[in-house]
Structure 1
Amino acid sequence: MDVVNRFLNGLRAALSSEELEELNTACGATKEDIDALRAKYPNCPESLISLLENIDGTYWRKYGENRIAVCILGSDVDEYPYYLLSIGQMLESSKEEEDVSYLLEYEEEEEAVDPKINREGLLPGKYLHFSDCMNNGGTSRLYIDFNPSDEGVCGQIIRYLHDPDEYAVIANSFDEYLQDLIDGGFIYLENEEE
């Protein structure tokens, strides 16, 4: 996957030497885990699979004797770098419904849910939670949406942001999402070092 290779090369160049050393202890997901992900999410983007074949998570993920916590992803909110969840973490955290209806109760809050997102919310088996922001996901999380509204596209990337709560589509595909991070020069990693 060209975009994944470009992303990984750019990421490695943008990380601090300490973060890179920590990330270099990571390894890719097992074939069994990848098969389990594909079985549950047959529409899972090949670029995400390829990324997981290289790095099976950076969110307090244990690899042998090493436990790593390296933010490698970003979003349209530059001040928050994000961790990549492992396949196990993705499958576990995607079991529950993500309700958006509380944001639709008041007319002025309608802007808090992108019209490309299904008003039923993010339903189990119809989305994949793949990333948490640097504060353990309390402020922001990222999802791949397989059940969009008529205005959206299957596989779009949704960013949830807390306070005020908002669900927004930030890319039409995982490939586009990675390309946006590359094109943005990994600026979210620079903010983390400050």
Structure 2
Amino acid sequence: MNLVERFLSGLIPRLPADDAAQWAHVQGASAEDLQGLRAQWPKVPDSLLALLSRVDGTHFREYPGGEVCVLMLGSDVGDGRYPYYLSSVADIFEDQDQWDDSIRSIYEEWLEEEPEILGNGIDADLPMDRRLCFSQCANNGGTSKLYLDFDPAPGGTVGQVVRYLHDPDSYAVIAPSFDAYLQQLIDSGYAFIDEDQ
């Protein structure tokens, strides 16, 4: 069983009943869409492509069988208990089209005054559209998003997972790779799932 299969086999039985019912509608992205993603980001990890080949997004995603709105990922926010959606391939490209500013151009002098905005290994001058946004939080991305960063600053790792958090704004590396990120979620026992629902 590969990493994505292990992740999904642990996730699906833990989903709340309403989410589990929606999960029946989930379908994977097309081979053409996945090829487009690889063409845009040649270093996209095989594990993300494998996950998208099984689940092409869970953020108010319209599938032939019905809409899917399932929180299936997490981050380090709130001791790993803050949930996130998986973006579809279309969502990923839409996010890329929304802005190409760099972190430095967004925050300007604040970056010097508040160095905690930018974590180690993250290039403040890289346009945001060079990063692949694969997930947004339960607040429709307004509070937090997750990115794959293929152009790190010194000290970073190609393919590292960067978490953006709003108010107070910060960017931090939360995993050295997407594989390591999925393994962290497994090892946490899927802490982001609210099992009381």
Cα distance change on mapping 1:134 and 1:98 into 2, 3 Å: farther
Which aligned pairs between 1:68-147 and structure 2 lie closer than 5 A?
Answer: 68-77=68-77, 78-95=80-97, 96-101=99-104, 102-103=106-107, 105-106=109-110, 107-124=112-129, 126-147=130-151
Report the identity percentage.
Answer: 44
Cα distance change on mapping 1:12 and 1:98 into 2, 3 Å: farther
Residue 65 of structure 1: CA displacement?
A: 4.2
Residue 142 of structure 1: CA displacement?
A: 0.3
Q: Deviations over 1:32-59 (max 9, x none)?
A: 1111111111111000000001000000
Q: Where does structure 1 lack aligned partners over 5 or more consecutive residues?
A: none
Q: Which stretch has the larger CA shift, 75-84 or 170-179?
A: 75-84
Q: Which runs of 4+ in 1 moved over 6 A?
A: none
Aligned letter for 1:6?
R
The answer (yes or no) to whether the contact 1:127–1:145 under 8 Å persists in 2 is yes
Which aligned pairs between 1:147-158 and structure 2 lie closer than 5 A?
Answer: 147-158=151-162
Q: What is the rounded CA distance, in whole Å, between the counterparts of 1:116 and 1:122 in structure 2? A: 15
Q: What is the rounded CA distance, in whole Å, between the counterparts of 2:118 and 2:7 in structure 1? A: 29
Aligned letter for 1:190?
D
Q: Where does structure 2 lack aligned partners over 5 or more consecutive residues?
A: none
Q: Which stretch has the larger CA shift, 142-151 or 15-24?
A: 15-24
Residue 121 of structure 1: CA displacement?
A: 3.7
Q: Which stretch has the larger CA shift, 109-118 or 98-107?
A: 98-107
The answer (yes or no) to whether the contact 1:155–1:173 under 8 Å persists in 2 is yes
TM-score (norm 2): 0.91
The answer (yes or no) to whether the contact 2:118–2:170 under 8 Å persists in 1 is yes
